[in-house]
Amino acid sequence: MAAYHHDDDMAEIVISSLPVETRCPPFLLKQYGGFWMPESYLPGVAAAHMGFKPRPSDVLLASFPKSGTTWLKALAFATANRVKHPPRHPDHPLRRYNPHDCVKYLESSDHGDVFEALPSPRVLATHIPYTLLPARIKAEDGSGGRIVYICRDPKDALVSLWFFTKKKLAEAKDGDPPKPYTIEEAFELFCDGRAFYGPQWHHVAGYWEASRRRPEKVLFLWYEDMLRDPVGNVRKLAEFMGCAFSGDEESAGVVQDIVEICSIDTLKNMEANKCGSQRTFRNETFFRTGVAGDWSNHLTPAMAERLDKIVQEALQGSGFTFGAVAE
Ligand code: A3P
């Protein structure tokens, strides 16, 4: 039995006593604070609560899985480091490493000193829901840094998660045939909130509410809007991160260069993303179609309607609606 003590906004977690969900391969999920968290990341979450020391200059990229995290990591990393690493440079880190190697997850390490060693300004990432973030990060005085959240239509997040899971299951071990995992199975679990960090809509709503309350500290981005206007969104991101593009940079096309190096076609074709892995996930599995609305090729209209209704009912009164891109 593992027990972890947190800062004052979280009770002690006794991991072995939490409700379990075993039907979301490859993860064993444990329900904590209203979310289905992967058990293997809970020690990292606990370590973040105990030892992570945020800095006012930090930028934390937050997301529900399969919502464009890899893209946001690439864009924020390229933007924050554009002076040291001009995006056109042939040796740019994003040409040599996967975006997940460039921006680490807060919950990926149970050794706080890994993050302590990073120079400021740090760009980190997380899938931890807003309500479960360490209080120090959410400090009202702004000492915990800034947060950028990327939100995606739940139907596309579900379909993306299903493909990601299927690819993982297809990596049969010891000659065993891959386990079947149908969209119907994935759909039922997702609708019930039983997904990696689910329910997705509560994850999104938590950050959306925070962005309304503290717009100077929490930026809320929409995956679909980023596809429509990547340049405008990168400008918004840079401004929010405190490193707006200068007139000279604009004239030199630096924003377009960042969009280009971070585009799915560019990243997908880089050697670093065709091989290698993150924990047990192959780098190539983070890049699939990268479009909005692919759900319509995999969910029936009845499934889509049912999920939309569940989300709508769950978020009633919150003021949040998927698809309503706010300025
Ligand atoms: P699809 O499976 O719908 O194609 P995450 O990074 O949070 O794991 O999300 C993965 C999703 O983002 C996948 O969606 C993937 O194809 C898409 N994606 C990855 N890199 C992208 C990029 N550079 N631009 C747009 N979408 C990208």
| 183 to 38, 178, 274: CA distances (angstroms) | 20, 15, 26
Contact 156 CB / ligand 1 (< 6 Å):
yes
Taking the centre of ligand 1 as the mean of its atom positions, its distance from the CA of residue 314, in whole angstroms, is 26
Task: Find the 121 Cα to ligand 1 centroid distance in Å.
Answer: 25
Contact between 223 and 152 under an 8 Å Cβ cutoff? The reply is yes
Report pLDDT for 186.
96
Q: Over the stretch 92-144, which tens digit does the pLDDT of each residue have?
A: 999 999 999 999 999 987 666 789 999 999 999 999 999 999 999 999 999 99
Residue nearest to atom 3 of ligand 1 (CA): 160
200-249, pLDDT tens digit by residue? 999 999 999 999 999 999 999 999 999 999 999 999 999 999 999 999 99
Question: The pTM is what?
Answer: 0.95
State mean pLDDT over 70-89.
98
pLDDT for res 12: 56
CA distances from 89 to 13, 18, 75, 257 (A): 46, 48, 15, 10
Q: In ligand 1, which atom is closest to the CA atom of 266?
A: 23
Distance CA 68, CA 72 (A): 6
Q: Tell me, in angstroms, the distance from the centre of ligand 1 to residue 279's CA.
A: 18
SS3 44: helix
Average pLDDT, the chain: 92
Residue 84: is its pLDDT beyond 70?
A: yes
pLDDT tens track for 302-322? 999 999 999 999 999 998 999
Ligand 1 atom nearest to CA at 64: 7
Q: Supply 12's token pair.
A: 């002690």
pLDDT at 291 over 80: yes
3-state DSSP call for residue 89?
Answer: coil
Query: How many helical (H) and strand (E) elements, i.e. helices and strands, does the chain have?
Result: 15, 11
Euclidean distance between CA atoms 220 and 209, whole angstroms: 10
Compute CA distances 93 → 10, 262, 264, whole Å.
37, 11, 16
Higher pLDDT, 292 or 178: 292
Q: Which of 167, 206, 188 is nearest to 64 (CA)?
A: 206
Residue 30 and residue 22: Cα distance in Å, rounded?
9
Mutation probe of ligand 1 site: the residue of 69, 70, 270 with most atoms within 8 A of C-beta? 70
Confidence of residue 4 (pLDDT cuts 50, 70, 90): very low
First to last CA, the chain: 47
86 pLDDT higher than 70 = yes
Q: Kindly report the number of other CB atoms within 10 A of residue 27's CB atom.
A: 20
pLDDT at 108: 86
Q: Which atom of ligand 1 is nearest to the CA of 294?
A: 3
State the DSSP code for 87: T
| For residues 261-282, average pLDDT | 90
pLDDT at 175 over 70: no
DSSP 34: T
pLDDT of 3: 45
Q: How far is CA 61 from CA 72, 261, 323, in A?
A: 7, 19, 20
What DSSP state is assigned to residue 92?
A: -
Catalytic residue positions, numbered: 127
